[in-house]
């Protein structure tokens, strides 16, 4: 059993049996109860009376309940606490657009009641926010009076008034370290004193404040690595019953990162929670489970875009929704849950649609519907971890709070109910079980009054300590200053920081203060409040200081290029069983950028196709390609092409646009598309008319290319025999084409080079380039031909086609071998051409250093 963090002094021991001990923070109350139990066990007791130790707010609630039990007239109202208070304030918002400020208004309400700001009501009107707040709470006070409810911030005044009127006499209480009470809380304590029920104030027991060590790290990540390493070393040195503390500024913002650091430091421990307790809670809405179910509820009332839906499909909690990993291309870009359910075969989605499309109901009914929705979606508490069960319990608490509003709100639609649930979740905190582990990581606000055998206080750089004031935005700053509210001016922050620094210095025989620069700075200085302590080398703080000099990969912030610290140029070689049939896109991607090929074909991260209502350039290009194929299958030489009549052409166009009809497009759109293709066909016939006689010897012929053990399947659009060329390979391309993209050693577009390697006697390569309604022939050969668009390869590509064919075989073999060997360097052959359309830029991180260039033209196939 580890030693208590707050030792029981003689005063405390005398006060506990006769009084309620009222502490400033919930953590102090918890630690004092632990201290009491520790003393009892140490004294050999088997049973003992539970001490009455309460956090100030919990004590006030207890007093209110006592008033209610005694039937005091002012304590007959219902009580709105935390989530219910926020939701009730939302009800009174002047307008829907202000809903987002509800949490700030709830905080301002606590200040308003605690500092008796009703006295200075008109002063609130000095600012626009102040006027908004005043109107808002006017409405809220009327609501409270009509509904006969009272809120927790109003309780101290109500109880103090009852004592003043001699209508209530609470039990004796002693304040423990309650130095920062609001005026209404102070008034309550004064009234207690007046009737003789206030015991001696209990002070925090502190060590003498010796000089301690201060160290500045190069980054926040190294600072974290430093304190976890120090924690491990101190635990080994001081033993499992010791008390080792780490103070961080705001645990809820960094809970996961800090926890991962401890898990890494205690990699050999099966249960790190036995050794380290990190904080006592995070916002409920930050948890993954909560985010997923709130997103699901949101989906039932509004459209989500397809990537949000895909993300929801990856949720481990909502598996019954059966959301696919890819959507068909004609899926709507944005879809509401009901739309998804009508297309899905999942019974759960249909059940959810049924549940959520009822008539307006009471909030309590909708709360139970929400639970049914979660269950139908696949969330089962049987499979949940302990943490998920705690989140589940917190969500049920929120739903209970929402249900309590039924009487005030009446019947509402499902959409309104979801808004209430979302707001409730946003204002709720997930409480963790604070474990009595030897290492305690605590928030600054929780650290006051706790004692340790060794303490590390981080983030005390000059620019972070004292921190900036954080006044409430709804109450004019001048009002907050005049009301002498704490921590609203720089002067107050300085005083508070000085006090806390002194308290920390006296909280352990050994204290380390550490600082690190902000993300965009290179250096930091320790806070001036630490001048009396010694700057110390890391070797004097850690016995194995080298570890803290390296950033742990889990802890490095994104801006610090974590991936580049651990670059490996190669993945594992392709397993032999996968070296068989491959698509030619492997060669193209490997040639363009080895990392791209590895990510798409090895890590299986292909670009997910965005569902689209109207055909995209690729769909439209495919339709044109299909028309060309159908026409040349029918007309196999120049003369036949010229003789194609409008009936043949219309039939081909109708057949090509048939897939577009399935997309339920408007008739007018289909007609425009057909007219566009008709124009292209006319241009194409003109192009073929202008050429010398030719025969089309192959259409959509399939070949297999064996290369480095791979079998690549190729399908060649068309091969022509002309008077001058035995085999002119023709490929239809929509958009602008570049013959230079065939250049070795890494062709940007290796498709034609691959064709040249399989088509027998290939002596010419050409694109039929379709740009708008224009069609042009552009290609190369080794012979001068009468074809306008066919140029000499030696002029276009600086080398003959026969030489190129050999070069291509060598280059493409090398590229295929690279892929087989697992080469995965982030090395785009041409940043302008490739990276701009690559979906992996966030993964490869190339553009953290490269300015994305503007590209003059983009090829669309």
Task: With H, G, I as helix, E, B as strand and everything else as coil, classify residue 268.
Answer: coil
Number of neighbours of residue 53 by Cβ within 10 angstroms: 26
78, β-bridge pairs: 149
Cβ-based nearer residue to ligand SF4, 514 or 846 = 846
Cβ-based nearer residue to ligand SF4, 273 or 841 = 841
**Minimum distance from CB of 565 to ligand SF4 (Å)?**
17
**Minimum distance from CB of 151 to ligand SF4 (Å)?**
54
| Cβ contact 453:238 at 8 Å | yes
- 840 contact partners, CB below 8 Å, separation of at least 6: 595, 596, 599, 600, 605
11 CB-contact burial (10 Å; exposed 0-12 / middle 13-18 / buried 19+): middle
Cβ-based nearer residue to ligand SF4, 188 or 600 = 600
Cβ-based nearer residue to ligand SF4, 111 or 599 = 599
CA gap 231, 248 in Å, rounded: 14
Q: Name the one residue in this structure whose structure tokens are 């297999």.
A: 704
In order, the DSSP letters of 456-487 are: EE---BTTTSSPPP---TTS-HHHHHHTT-TT
What residues make contact with ligand SF4 under the rule CB under 6 A? 593, 595-596, 826, 828, 834-835, 838, 840-841, 844, 846
Strands 334-335 and 429-431: unpaired
**Minimum distance from CB of 811 to ligand SF4 (Å)?**
18
| Cβ contact 642:685 at 8 Å | yes
User: Structure tokens of 290?
Assistant: 């909560």
Cβ-based nearer residue to ligand SF4, 498 or 830 = 830
Angle at 137 between CA 135 and CA 140, to 5 degrees: 115
**Minimum distance from CB of 828 to ligand SF4 (Å)?**
4
**Minimum distance from CB of 846 to ligand SF4 (Å)?**
4
Strands 534-535 and 581-582: unpaired
**Minimum distance from CB of 599 to ligand SF4 (Å)?**
6
User: Structure tokens of 372?
Assistant: 């049914």
Cβ-based nearer residue to ligand SF4, 714 or 834 = 834
Asked if the peptide bond before residue 525 counts as cis, ω within 30 degrees of 0, the response is: no
**Minimum distance from CB of 596 to ligand SF4 (Å)?**
4
Cβ-based nearer residue to ligand SF4, 708 or 841 = 841
**Minimum distance from CB of 838 to ligand SF4 (Å)?**
3
**Minimum distance from CB of 587 to ligand SF4 (Å)?**
15
Cβ-based nearer residue to ligand SF4, 266 or 595 = 595
**Minimum distance from CB of 761 to ligand SF4 (Å)?**
36
CA gap 504, 247 in Å, rounded: 9
Cβ-based nearer residue to ligand SF4, 596 or 674 = 596
End-to-end Cα separation, the chain, in angstroms: 70
Q: What is the 8-class DSSP label of residue 570?
A: B
Number of neighbours of residue 229 by Cβ within 10 angstroms: 23
Q: Which helix (H) or strand (E) holds 86?
A: helix 82-91
| Cβ contact 705:582 at 8 Å | no
CA gap 135, 116 in Å, rounded: 17
How many residues would you count in the chain?
Answer: 861
State phi, psi for 432 to the nearest 5 degrees.
-95, 160
Strands 581-582 and 710-722: parallel
Q: Name the one residue in this structure whose structure tokens are 């190729």.
A: 714
Cβ-based nearer residue to ligand SF4, 801 or 824 = 824
Angle at 129 between CA 128 and CA 134, to 5 degrees: 100
Strands 774-781 and 790-792: parallel
């Amino acid at each position: 059993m580890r030693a208590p963090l707050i030792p029981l002094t003689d005063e405390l021991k005398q006060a506990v049996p006769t009084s309620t001990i009222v502490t400033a923070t919930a953590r102090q109350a918890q630690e004092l109860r632990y201290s009491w139990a520790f003393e009892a066990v140490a004294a050999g007791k088997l049973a003992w009376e539970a001490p009455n130790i309460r956090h100030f707010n919990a004590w006030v609630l207890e007093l209110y309940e006592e008033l209610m039990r005694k039937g005091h007239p002012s304590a007959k109202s219902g009580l709105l606490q935390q989530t219910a208070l926020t939701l009730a304030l939302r009800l009174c918002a002047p307008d829907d657009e202000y809903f987002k400020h509800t949490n700030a208004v709830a905080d301002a309400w606590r200040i308003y009641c605690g500092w008796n700001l009703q006295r200075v009501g008109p002063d609130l009107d000095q600012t626009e926010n102040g006027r908004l707040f005043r109107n808002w709470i006017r409405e809220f006070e009327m609501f409270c009076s009509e509904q006969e409810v009272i809120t927790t911030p109003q309780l101290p005044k109500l109880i103090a008034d009852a004592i003043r009127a001699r209508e209530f006499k609470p039990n004796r209480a002693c304040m423990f370290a309650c130095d920062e009470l609001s005026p209404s809380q102070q008034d309550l304590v004064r009234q207690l004193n007046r009737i003789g029920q206030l015991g001696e104030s209990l002070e925090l027991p502190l060590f003498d404040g010796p000089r301690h060590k201060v160290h500045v790290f190069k980054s926040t990540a190294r600072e974290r690595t430093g304190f976890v390493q120090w924690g491990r070393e101190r635990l080994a040195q001081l033993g499992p019953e010791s008390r080792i503390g780490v103070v961080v500024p705001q645990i809820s913002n960094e809970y996961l990162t800090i926890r991962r650091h401890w898990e890494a430091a205690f990699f050999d421990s099966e249960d790190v929670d036995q050794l380290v307790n990190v904080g006592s809670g995070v916002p409920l809405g930050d948890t993954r489970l909560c985010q997923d179910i709130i997103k699901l509820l949101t989906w039932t009332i509004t459209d989500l875009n397809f990537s949000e839906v895909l993300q929801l499909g990856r949720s481990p909690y909502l598996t019954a929704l059966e959301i696919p990993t890819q959507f068909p291309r004609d899926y709507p870009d944005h879809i509401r849950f009901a739309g998804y359910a009508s297309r899905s075969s999942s019974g759960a989605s249909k059940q959810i649609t049924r549940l959520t499309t009822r008539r307006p109901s009471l909030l309590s009914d909708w709360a139970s519907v929400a639970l049914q929705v979660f269950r139908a979606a696949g969330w089962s508490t049987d499979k949940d971890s302990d943490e998920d069960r705690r989140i589940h319990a917190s969500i049920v608490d929120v739903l209970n709070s929402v249900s309590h509003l039924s009487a005030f709100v009446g019947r509402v639609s499902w959409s309104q109910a979801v808004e209430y649930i979302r707001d409730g979740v946003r204002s709720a905190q997930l409480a963790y079980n604070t474990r009595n582990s030897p290492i305690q990581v605590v928030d600054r606000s929780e650290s006051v009054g706790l004692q340790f055998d060794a303490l590390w206080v981080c983030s005390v750089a000059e620019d972070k300590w004292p921190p900036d004031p954080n006044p409430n935005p709804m109450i004019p700053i001048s009002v907050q200053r005049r009301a002498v509210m704490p921590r609203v001016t720089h002067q107050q922050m300085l005083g508070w920081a000085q006090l806390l620094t002194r308290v920390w210095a006296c909280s352990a025989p050994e204290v380390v203060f550490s600082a690190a620069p902000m993300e965009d700075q290179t250096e930091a200085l320790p806070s001036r409040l630490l001048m009396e302590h010694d700057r110390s080398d890391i070797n004097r703080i850690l016995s194995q200081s080298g570890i803290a000099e390296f950033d742990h990969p889990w802890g490095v912030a994104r801006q610090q290029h974590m991936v580049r610290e651990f670059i490996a140029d190669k993945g594992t070689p392709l397993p032999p069983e996968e070296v068989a049939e491959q698509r030619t896109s492997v060669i193209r991607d490997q040639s363009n950028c080895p990392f791209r090929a590895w990510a798409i074909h090895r890590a299986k991260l292909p670009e997910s196709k965005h569902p689209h209502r109207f055909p995209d350039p690729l769909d439209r290009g495919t339709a044109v390609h299909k028309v060309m194929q159908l026409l040349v299958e029918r007309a196999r030489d120049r003369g036949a092409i010229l003789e194609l009549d409008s009936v043949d052409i219309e039939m081909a166009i109708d057949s090509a646009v048939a897939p577009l009809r399935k997309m339920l497009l408007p008739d007018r759109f289909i007609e425009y598309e057909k007219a566009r293709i008709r124009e292209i066909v006319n241009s194409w016939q003109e192009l073929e008319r202008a050429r010398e006689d030719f025969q089309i010897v192959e259409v959509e012929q399939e070949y297999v290319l064996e290369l480095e053990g791979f079998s690549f399947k190729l399908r060649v659009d068309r091969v022509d025999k002309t008077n001058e060329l035995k085999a002119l390979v023709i490929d239809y391309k929509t958009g602008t084409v570049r013959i230079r993209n065939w250049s070795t050693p890494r062709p940007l577009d290796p498709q034609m080079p691959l064709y040249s390697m399989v088509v027998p006697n290939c002596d010419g390569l050409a694109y039929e380039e379709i740009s708008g309604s224009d069609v042009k022939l552009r290609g190369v050969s080794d012979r001068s031909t009468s074809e306008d668009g066919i140029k000499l390869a030696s002029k276009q590509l600086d080398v003959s086609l026969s030489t190129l064919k050999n070069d291509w075989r060598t280059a493409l073999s090398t590229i295929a071998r690279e892929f087989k060997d697992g080469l995965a360097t982030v090395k785009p052959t041409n940043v302008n051409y490739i990276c701009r359309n690559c979906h992996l830029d966030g993964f490869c991180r190339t553009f953290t250093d490269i300015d994305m260039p503007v590209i003059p033209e983009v090829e669309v196939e």
